[in-house]
Amino acid sequence: MLVDEGFAVWDTLAIAEYLAEKYPDRQLWPADRHARARARSVCAEMHAGFGALRNHFPMNIEAGLPEVGQRILREQVEVQGDVDRLVQMWSELLAAHGGPLLFGGFTIADAFFAPVVKRLVTYGVPLPPVIDDYVEQVQALPAVVAWTTDALAEHDFLDFEEPYRTRA
């Protein structure tokens, strides 16, 4: 949820639009109309899709679970389908816009996919080199570095949320 001067916005797409309107100088959406429409489309797909990946790869920034990731990819074909769709989408966008991020420079689309990037890293999902490069670029974004640092400082561990590992 975003609360700005007492005004609450709770949906991620609405937050993105609110911030883009509030800070037009930041160019949070691509300037080109077609690229902007595509960026909104991939954000909407992220917002509504990739359910198998989200369900089977819960968010856990502090963990390294490549063995769990490999097992899930073998056993849950829909998760591999979500990964394949991400690789296809990201590859096309990176090629069309020249990288290093989906639309060249940072946009809301990269912010939308940052949680997915963190899941792919946590679960050690094998990716093509061009996608590995994108993952590294997203992880190096100052906001993602700050988010990761803050998450690591929490040291939260809830057994019922993390049945695949034990308390360190």
Please report, for the domain that includes residue 110, its CATH number: 1.20.1050.10
pTM of the predicted structure, to 2 decimals:
0.89
Do strands 2-4 and 7-9 pair parallel, antiparallel, or not at all (unpaired)? antiparallel
pLDDT digits (tens, 9 = 90+) for 21-74: 999 999 999 999 999 999 999 999 999 999 999 999 999 898 899 999 999 999
Domain annotation covers residue 17: no
Cα–Cα distance measured from residue 49 to residue 150, given in angstroms and rounded to the nearest whole number: 27
Cα torsion 39, 111, 127, 100: sign:
positive
Domain annotation covers residue 6: no
What pLDDT score does 115 carry?
96
pLDDT digits (tens, 9 = 90+) for 34-49: 999 999 999 999 999 9
What pLDDT score does 162 carry?
61
How many separate domains does the chain show? 1
Which residue has tokens 């790869």?
57
> What secondary structure letter does DSSP report for 29?
S
Domain annotation covers residue 79: yes
What pLDDT score does 113 carry?
98
Cα–Cα distance measured from residue 164 to residue 97, given in angstroms and rounded to the nearest whole number: 39
**Full residue range of the structural domain in which residue 129 is found:** 32-161
Domain annotation covers residue 112: yes
Domain annotation covers residue 64: yes
Overall size of the chain counted in residues: 168
Domain annotation covers residue 11: no
Residues ≥6 apart with Cβ < 8 Å to 117: 134, 135, 138, 139, 144
Nearest to 17 by CA among 107, 147, 105, 94: 107
